């Protein structure tokens, strides 16, 4: 008996071990693919996230690769770090400046979008109940900012526009999930009046935000402020990102009401904002640098996995079987998004003319409303909903995959052209021109040095060298003047160049101190003291740059 | 000897103001001081070492950028001083004007729509005029962008 039990335990342990190793091998494989994709897209200048989805689609064609992708894995493990990292970098003062309009897009827009998509689904797809249609409407209303924000950064688009897109996306994820869950409840037979649903919505959303804000405040004010150890502080933020999600989602367990679930996503939003806006101010520059590097890496890694898994999960053959509903879904989200963006903007511009939302911003917000991880995660739960007919759940799932694929591949690859066409990346043009002037000067200087070398080696006669050198001197003087005029036309470039040069110089000083400590020229304690001073200087430059980007004061 | 104070943000569009200040100092033969009021949000709430670092870096920034302007106008004989102070912009400038023997206050037109300083500009100018200090406003040549 004992030996049988032992054999069973060994078999059980071996199974567990092999599943861990299998998961590890899959993760390593996916990361390796992501790295190759990252290297290739850097050369061909193609959107990274879109490339990952396309590679995932290609890999999905191989029957050997069959990934089981539970919804909980995406929502509970992959989404929280992405949201935490994004909100950590969302300055509250920028969000606050446009909060009414961002909330209108995120809350009002999601409600309008859900209602419109649900109505179109019920009207045109046979056998779909209202709760199922509302659940579908909600899950395709959650926009994903990752792909778009990457473009914004590379194109130098206005920070205000980036705040609109990022702020709306982060908040509407939470709102969409709350509506989705309410629809699932209704589908299961729970009777929900409009007033009751609204109250439930407020309770879940506000509760999630409150939990995240409290936990974020505790971490920012107790840990980040009082403990000066970047390892402990970084670990605490990891616990906060996942913990705030878990505590909000399972809040009922703490108060003896297992049915009470608050919004985990909104809890992560609030916690991330607390750390980014309060915690960063309370901690040392060294910790801030560690936190930023750690979360930047985490976001890159998780994003790589999410978009690759997204492509792997979509089966093109199944989607083509449902091509009619898929086209309808794509049209529905395009129409509803247009109604949301342009109507909310029109109302906002009429009420608050001092914070006008330009038409160019509206076009970018419309076309930049891509769908990603949250939509996919919610769609994956549909077949498990007992009250949904199997066929309906599969159809809605394929419709979601179609929407995600369309927005990522079609909108994701054309958004940068739209931004350029609308001249919202004008800052970038001036940067390109500055680079051209600098490259021109660099090239001419090299040519002059070469002529000088040829002369000194006796290859070039002084009679030939002298006029050539003079000519280059004149050309370089002209180039310098052109650069000077360019800087006068775009003074922001000069300031940016100064700040960057100063940051580079401080980094060089830090490296030199570290080197001196390694070589024993200065003691470790002296080096640490000097490095800390320089870290404060770098942090100060960051704050100054932010203040300049926001404008204000006397010019 | 009385002096000129140039209130500067030392950022976008401030070069014209710096250049105008140098020309004016040359023309009137007066000392020139560049005054920068720290515009870093919630500066007072920062940790003390970070406050010191912000002040020091801004000193560097103002010093360097005004040197570029001096070079552009070809007035290397003028050696301006740099002061970096914190607090409310209009109060800080006014305090400086009242403290010193200031003949001219030169500055650009405030550039941010809705900024507190921009909205209180008129009353600020009236208060400066009461100190017998002349105010020169250098207009911003570029259109506002979002």
- Which residue in B27, B4, B25, B18 sits closest to B100, CA to CA? B4
**What residues of chain A lie within 8 A of the CB of B53, using their CB?**
533, 536-537, 539-540
Task: Give the gap in angstroms from C-alpha B85 to the nearest C-alpha of chain A.
Answer: 13
Q: How far is residue A10's CA from residue A320's CA, in Å, rounded to a whole number? A: 46
Partner A contacted by B7 (CB < 8 A): yes
Per residue of chain B (146 residues), give pLDDT as tens.
589 999 887 766 677 888 899 999 999 989 999 998 888 877 887 888 888 999 999 999 888 888 888 888 888 788 899 989 988 888 889 888 888 788 899 988 775 444 567 677 778 888 888 888 888 888 765 544 43
> In the 8-state DSSP scheme, what is residue B139?
P
Q: Which residues of A touch B (CB under 8 A)?
A: 93, 158, 160-161, 281-282, 285, 354, 356, 358, 361, 426, 484, 488, 491-492, 494-495, 498-499, 502, 533, 536-537, 539-541, 543-544, 546-548, 550-555
B117 with A484: Cβ contact below 8 A: no
A281 with B45: Cβ contact below 8 A: yes
**What residues of chain A lie within 8 A of the CB of B9, using their CB?**
548, 553-555
User: Mind giving me the DSSP string for A265-286?
Assistant: HHHHHHHHHHIIIIIHHHS-HH
Q: How far is residue A39's CA from residue A36's CA, in Å, rounded to a whole number? A: 5
A544 with B37: Cβ contact below 8 A: no
A547 with B12: Cβ contact below 8 A: no
Interface test with A, best of B8, B12, B43 (most A CBs within 10 A): B12
**What residues of chain B lie within 8 A of the CB of A354, using their CB?**
113-114
B110 with A554: Cβ contact below 8 A: yes
- Which residue in A486, A540, A544 sits closest to B9, CA to CA? A544
**What residues of chain A lie within 8 A of the CB of B39, using their CB?**
547, 552-553
A551 with B56: Cβ contact below 8 A: no
**Chain-centre distance of CA A373, in angstroms?**
11
**What residues of chain A lie within 8 A of the CB of B144, using their CB?**
none
User: Mind giving me the DSSP string for A150-189?
Assistant: HHHHHHT--HHHHHHHHHHHHHHHHHHHHHHHHHHHHHTT
A553 with B115: Cβ contact below 8 A: yes
Interface contacts (A, B; CB < 8 Å): 120
Give contacts of B 90-109 with A, CB under 8 A.
93, 107-109
Q: Is A14 exposed, middle or buried (0-12, 13-18, 19+ CB in 10 A)?
A: exposed
Q: CB of B69 within 8 A of CB of A491?
A: no
Q: H-helix or E-strand containing B81?
A: strand B81-85
Partner A contacted by B126 (CB < 8 A): no
B49 with A536: Cβ contact below 8 A: yes
Q: CB of A488 within 8 A of CB of A433?
A: no
Task: Locate the chain B residue with the closest alpha carbon to A553.
Answer: B110
Q: Which residues contact A445 (CB under 8 A, 6 or more apart)?
A: A476
Across the interface, of A356, A488, A537, the residue whose CB is closest to B53 is: A537
B68 with A160: Cβ contact below 8 A: no
A554 with B37: Cβ contact below 8 A: yes
Angle, vertex CA A57, rays to CA A52 and CA A58, nearest 5: 100
Task: Give the gap in angstroms from C-alpha B27 to the nearest C-alpha of chain A.
Answer: 22
Cα–Cα separations (whole angstroms), residue A223 to A247, A268, A279, B43, B94: 19, 18, 9, 22, 41
Q: How far is residue A370's CA from residue A407's CA, in Å, rounded to a whole number? A: 5
Q: Which residues contact A375 (CB under 8 A, 6 or more apart)?
A: A139, A140, A142, A144, A400, A403, A404
A78's tokens: 């992959």
Q: CB of A261 within 8 A of CB of A238?
A: no
Beta-bridge partner residues of B35: B7, B83
Q: Which residues contact A244 (CB under 8 A, 6 or more apart)?
A: A80, A211, A212, A215, A216, A264, A267, A268, A270, A271
**3-class state of residue A368 by DSSP:** coil
Task: Locate the chain A residue with the closest alpha carbon to B62.
Answer: A495
Per residue of chain A (555 residues), give pLDDT as tens.
566 666 666 666 666 666 788 778 888 888 999 999 999 988 887 888 889 989 988 888 776 666 666 777 778 888 899 899 989 988 888 888 888 899 999 999 999 999 999 999 999 988 888 999 999 999 999 898 766 776 676 666 777 888 899 899 888 888 898 899 889 888 887 777 888 888 888 999 999 999 999 999 999 998 888 887 889 999 999 999 999 999 999 998 888 888 888 999 999 999 999 999 888 877 877 788 889 889 999 988 988 888 888 888 888 888 888 899 999 999 999 999 999 999 999 998 888 766 788 898 999 999 988 888 888 888 888 877 767 777 888 899 899 999 999 998 899 889 888 888 887 775 556 777 777 888 888 888 888 888 888 898 888 888 889 989 999 888 888 888 888 787 777 766 777 778 888 888 888 888 888 888 888 888 988 988 898 888 888 888 888 887 776 554 433
**What residues of chain A lie within 8 A of the CB of B72, using their CB?**
484
User: What is the number of other CB atoms lying within 10 angstroms of the CB of residue A430?
Assistant: 16
Q: CB of A272 within 8 A of CB of A86?
A: yes
User: What is the number of other CB atoms lying within 10 angstroms of the CB of residue A239?
Assistant: 13
Q: H-helix or E-strand containing A13?
A: helix A2-44
**What residues of chain A lie within 8 A of the CB of B115, using their CB?**
551-553
pLDDT digits (tens, 9 = 90+) for A310-365: 888 888 888 888 899 999 999 999 999 999 999 999 998 888 766 788 898 999 99
Task: Give the gap in angstroms from C-alpha B2 to the nearest C-alpha of chain A.
Answer: 23
**What residues of chain A lie within 8 A of the CB of B111, using their CB?**
551-555
B52 with A536: Cβ contact below 8 A: yes
B15 with A494: Cβ contact below 8 A: yes
A495 with B54: Cβ contact below 8 A: no
**What residues of chain B lie within 8 A of the CB of A551, using their CB?**
12, 111-112, 115
Q: CB of A312 within 8 A of CB of A249?
A: no
Strand B3-7 with B102-108, pairing: parallel
> What are the two backbone dihedrals, phi and then psi, of residue A234, each rounded to the nearest 5 degrees?
-65, -45
């Amino acid at each position: 008996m004992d030996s049988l039990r032992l054999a069973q335990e060994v078999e059980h342990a071996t199974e567990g071990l092999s599943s861990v190793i299998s998961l590890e091998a899959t993760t390593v494989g996916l990361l390796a693919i992501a790295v190759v994709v990252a290297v290739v897209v850097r050369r061909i200048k193609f959107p990274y996230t879109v490339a990952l989805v396309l590679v995932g689609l290609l890999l999905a064609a191989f029957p050997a690769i069959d990934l089981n992708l539970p919804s909980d894995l995406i929502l509970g493990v992959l989404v929280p770090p992405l949201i935490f990292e994004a909100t950590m970098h969302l300055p509250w003062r920028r969000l606050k400046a446009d909060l009414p309009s961002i909330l209108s897009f995120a809350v009002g827009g999601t409600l309008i979008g859900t209602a419109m998509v649900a109505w179109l689904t019920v009207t045109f797809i046979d056998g779909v109940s209202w709760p199922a249609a509302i659940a579908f409407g909600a899950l395709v209303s959650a926009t994903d900012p990752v792909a778009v924000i990457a473009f914004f950064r590379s194109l130098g688009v206005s920070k205000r526009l980036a705040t609109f897109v990022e702020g709306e996306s982060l908040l509407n994820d939470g709102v969409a999930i709350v509506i989705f869950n309410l629809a699932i409840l209704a589908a299961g037979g729970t009777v929900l009046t409009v007033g009751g649903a609204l109250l439930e919505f407020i309770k879940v959303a506000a509760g999630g935000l409150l939990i995240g804000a409290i936990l974020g405040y505790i971490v920012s004010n107790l840990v980040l402020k009082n403990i000066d150890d970047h390892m402990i502080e970084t670990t605490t933020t990891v616990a906060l990102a996942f913990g705030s999600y878990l505590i909000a989602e399972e809040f009922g367990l703490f108060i003896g009401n297992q049915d009470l679930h608050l919004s985990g996503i909104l809890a992560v939003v609030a916690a991330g904002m607390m750390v980014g806006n309060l915690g960063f101010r309370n901690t040392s520059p060294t910790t801030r640098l560690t936190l930023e590097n750690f979360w930047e890496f985490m976001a890159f890694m998780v994003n790589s996995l999410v978009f690759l898994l997204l492509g792997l999960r979509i089966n093109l053959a199944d989607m083509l079987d449902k091509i009619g509903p898929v086209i309808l879904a794509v049209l529905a989200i395009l129409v509803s998004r247009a109604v949301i963006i342009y109507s909310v903007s029109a109302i906002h511009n009429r009420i608050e003319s001092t914070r006008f939302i330009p038409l160019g911003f509206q076009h970018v917000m419309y076309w930049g409303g891509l769908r990603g991880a949250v939509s996919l995660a919610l769609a994956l739960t549909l077949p498990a909903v007992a009250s949904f007919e199997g066929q309906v759940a599969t159809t809605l799932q394929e419709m979601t995959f179609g929407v995600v694929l369309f927005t990522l591949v079609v909108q994701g690859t054309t958004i940068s052209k739209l931004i350029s066409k609308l001249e919202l990346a004008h800052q970038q043009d001036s940067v390109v021109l500055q680079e051209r002037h600098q490259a021109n000067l660099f090239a001419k200087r090299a040519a002059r040095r070469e002529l000088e070398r040829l002369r000194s080696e006796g290859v070039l006669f002084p009679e030939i060298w002298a006029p050539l050198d003079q000519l280059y001197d004149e050309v370089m003087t002209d180039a310098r003047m052109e650069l000077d005029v360019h800087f006068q036309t775009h003074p922001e470039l000069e300031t940016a160049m100064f700040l960057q040069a100063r940051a580079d110089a401080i980094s060089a000083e830090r490296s030199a101190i570290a080197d001196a400590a390694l070589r024993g020229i200065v003691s470790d304690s002296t080096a640490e003291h000097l490095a800390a001073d320089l870290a404060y200087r770098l942090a100060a430059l960051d704050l100054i740059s932010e203040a300049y980007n926001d404008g204000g004061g006397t010019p | 000897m009385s002096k000129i104070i140039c209130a500067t943000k030392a950022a976008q569009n401030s070069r014209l103001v710096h250049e105008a200040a140098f020309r004016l100092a040359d023309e009137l033969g007066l000392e020139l001081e560049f005054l920068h009021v720290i515009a870093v949000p919630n500066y007072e709430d920062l940790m003390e070492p970070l406050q010191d670092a912000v002040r020091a870096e801004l000193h560097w920034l103002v010093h360097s950028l005004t040197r570029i302007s001096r070079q552009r106008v070809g007035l290397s004989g003028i050696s301006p001083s740099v002061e970096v102070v914190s607090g409310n912009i209009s109060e800080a400038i006014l305090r400086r004007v009242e403290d010193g023997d200031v003949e001219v206050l030169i500055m650009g037109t405030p550039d941010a729509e809705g900024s507190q300083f921009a909205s209180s500009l008129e009353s600020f100018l009236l208060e400066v005029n009461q100190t017998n200090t002349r105010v020169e406003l250098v207009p911003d040549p570029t259109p506002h962008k979002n």
